[in-house]
Amino acid sequence: MSNYHLEICIDSIESAKRAIAGGATRLEVCSALSEGGLTPSLGLCKFIKSHSKILIYAMIRIRHGNFVYTEEEVDAMLYDLLMLRNIGVDGFVFGGLNSDCTIDVNCCSKIISVAKPLPVTFHRAFDEVKNPFEALEQIINLGFVRILTSGQRNTALEGLNLIGELVKLANDKIIIMPGSGITPDNIAMIKKISGAKEFHASAKVPVHIERKEISNEQSEIKFGSSETANLMMIASEDLIKQMINIINE
């Protein structure tokens, strides 16, 4: 088995099927990837677990926006986590911050405690922390198994220097997983320079969805943007296969 892994984030059954067919090692299962990823439905996770042996990590994020959560929001997310654990997900993805861009140790420790013994990834909330090196140590001490990061830049390619430093400092105490903007065109460079062994991508492409004809006057009603009504962003099996082949070279 390869020492390198590719995690694909998905928010639909079709993306899950294509990611699995493409050879993804693990799925980060979300809803609303257009919002950066929110907690997925139980049904989506149950479907994937029923049709594949692939590892799935469920996003725990109750809303879009920042990662500073109230006690009520944390309680709601803990309930979501319990429900997802009960249907057999393999791990979770979470990140909580204080208003001063430091790690919310109290919030994160609650998530880790309730998730046990399942692993938890600290997501790209890490890219907003004030001191990434101090945050790295806190996240290790809290018991997270990996950090998803773009190196505090918009894309992993731009943040390669910091990602490489984090990989060295982590010293196998935690996995540093580059993510954001990773494609077949840059994954080899990101692998080489960062020294990372796990990578995170969406590999999304626009797919045209055929609409069935509706034979009444309601057929002209539009939901959302009319320009994107017939388009869905779906994981590309081909792009995933390409990236898998590249990291295993």
Query: Residue 216 pLDDT > 60, yes or no?
Result: no
**pLDDT, tens digit (0-9, with 9 covering 90-100), for 67-97:** 999 999 999 999 999 999 999 999 999 999 9
Q: Are 194 and 188 within 8 A, CB to CB?
A: no
The mean pLDDT value of the chain amounts to 93
**pLDDT, tens digit (0-9, with 9 covering 90-100), for 187-198:** 999 999 999 999
Q: What are phi and psi of 49, to 5 degrees?
A: -65, -30
What's the pLDDT score for residue 208? 81
Rounded distance between C-alpha atoms, residue 5 and residue 1, angstroms? 10
Domains of the chain with CATH codes: 5-247 (3.20.20.380)
What's the pLDDT score for residue 223? 53
Give percent above pLDDT 70 in the chain. 92
Quick one: pLDDT band at residue 217, thresholds 50, 70, 90?
low
Query: Residue 120 pLDDT > 90, yes or no?
Result: yes
- Segment 104-114 shows an average pLDDT of 98
Q: CA of 176: how far to CAs of 40, 57, 101, 123, 173, in Å?
A: 24, 16, 20, 11, 10
Q: What is the DSSP string of 175-224?
A: EEEEBSS--TTTHHHHHHHH--SEEEE--EEEEE-PPPP--SGGGG---S
Among 36-50, 111-125, 180-194, 213-227, which is the least confidently predicted range?
Answer: 213-227
- For the whole model, what pTM was predicted? 0.92
Largest CA distance in the chain: 63
Rounded distance between C-alpha atoms, residue 162 and residue 132, angstroms? 9
What's the pLDDT score for residue 121? 98
**pLDDT, tens digit (0-9, with 9 covering 90-100), for 1-46:** 579 999 999 999 999 999 999 999 999 999 999 999 999 999 999 9
Quick one: pLDDT band at residue 219, thresholds 50, 70, 90?
low
